[in-house]
Amino acid sequence: MSLLQRCLSGGVPLRLISLRRVRTTSITYGSLVPFKLSDIGEGIAEVQVKEWHVKVGDRVNQFDNICEVQSDKAAVSITSRYDGVIKKLYYNVDDVAKVGQPLIDIELDDDVEVPSSIKQEKQEPANISSVEDSAASIRHKHEKKLATPAVRRIAMESKVNLLDVAGSGKDGRVLKEDVLRFLGQISKAPSNTSYTPHTSSASISKGEFQAGTLKDDEIVPVRGYTRAMVKSMSEALKIPHFGYNDEINVGRLVELRDQLKHISRERDIKMSYMPMFIKAASLALARFPMLNASADEKFENIIYKASHNICIAMDTPGGLVVPNIKNCEQRNLWEVAEELNRLHEAGKRQQISREDLIGGTFTLSNIGAIGGTYASPVIFPPQVAIGAIGKIEKLPRFDAAGQVYPASLVKVSWAADHRVVDGATMARFSNLWKEYLENPMLMLSELR
């Protein structure tokens, strides 16, 4: 006798199952495979999860973006290798994921053949409600900000991450006014708004952490770009540094930049002084290739680099990072400026690629953007030289007739590896770089 017959004949109360509950509970029994974080090269053993593009229950196809991760060398996009449904996320945002360990679980489509190395036994959930609760919990943690397509387009065009924007709409929805307010184009939100967003750590700049503001000790893990700099600067301590400082009168360079401003607006390329410093350095390196060099591992050979891949030290929300502009010897001023602007924008978003971080041959650091005149820069190994440029100042100087005049001056501090570069070579290189900047027409005459 069936269970239904026994219940009806024996007077046992029959509890009807909610068909609505059954329909809305998505339980499938396809092949469940763990998607492991693959080796992304250069001996990287772990990465930090910066953003999820999926949540539990989402359907993905091959090559769809799964998440953004950041190692101590670069930001990397992880894409799906399978077609299927996301069943589990193993990490929250800012967690550290290990290479070779599961990143997500994907339930594959029926027609997908599961590789033998990752086959798992099909398992039935012991409790439907617990599965629902777990999925809802993960879905809540990783759900993206609510916003209409129009608002998302405005944010994309303005290069704004919606996760950093406080939503004043229902359920925290980000409105057009919220994005404009974030950009500073309209006034602050009214004080009676009912939504108080959580401020992500990525949206807080390092400058906001000032002495005396912390009530308790705070432990901050060394991750991302900072970890890479720890390794590089530890290696730099093995290099015998020597320094050389000088002062450059950039009055004519200031005039040149003023003359280029209207072209800058037409081309929509910001032309700061830095592209001019970079291009002058590249021209000088062509005459002094020993400064655009590196040594082999045992320091038995010096490799003079044909390409001038000039690194630019940048202060980003994730710490100091040193990307480089490839082949500066082949680029004109506008091309250098355009590439520099691209790297600055990527640095603000902490999305500088691995390709932008490798292969550097020479480094410049613009400390003047923050303040200061002279510095003691540390060489970025395996390079052999670095320059730190101070701020441009108006200071009194004497002309050839002995008359005082206001001069636009900038200080430069060079450091070089004394095993490769001697003081006289460094001074000659600096003098040529200085000549290009003090007589920019000379520099422009040599541009290709």
Kindly report, residue by residue over 54-79, the tens digit of the pLDDT.
999 999 888 888 888 887 666 778 88
**Do the beta carbons of residue 335 and residue 346 sit within 8 Å?**
no
Q: Are 301 and 426 in contact (CB under 8 A)?
A: no
170-186 confidence digits (pLDDT tens): 667 787 778 877 887 66
Closest CA to 331 of 279, 369, 267: 279
pLDDT score of 188 more than 70: no
Q: Which of 53, 241, 344, 418 is catalytic?
A: 418
Read off the pLDDT of residues 261-302 as tens digits, 9 standing for 90 and up. 999 999 999 999 999 999 999 999 999 999 999 988 888 899
- Taking the alpha carbons at both ends of the chain, their separation in whole angstroms is 93
Do the bridges between strand 404-417 and strand 393-398 make them parallel or antiparallel, or are there none, so unpaired? antiparallel
Tokens of 19: 């068909």
Nearest of 361, 370, 377 to residue 412 by alpha carbon: 377
Confidence (pTM): 0.59
Structure tokens at 44: 């990287």
Q: Is 241 part of the annotated catalytic residue set?
A: no
Indicate if the pLDDT at residue 434 is higher than 80.
yes
Say if residues 350 and 224 touch (Cβ distance below 8 Å). yes
**Residue pLDDT, tens place only, 217-235:** 877 777 766 777 788 888 8
Are the C-beta atoms of 167 and 174 separated by less than 8 Å?
A: yes
Q: Which residues contact 250 (CB under 8 A, 6 or more apart)?
A: 273, 392, 408, 409, 410, 437, 438
* CA distance linking residue 196 with residue 65, whole number of Å: 30
* From 39, 133, 296, 422, the catalytic residue: 422
Find, among 253, 255, 271, 278, the residue nearest to 366 by Cα.
278
The span from the CA of 91 to the CA of 163, in Å, is 18
The verdict on whether 53 is a catalytic residue reads no
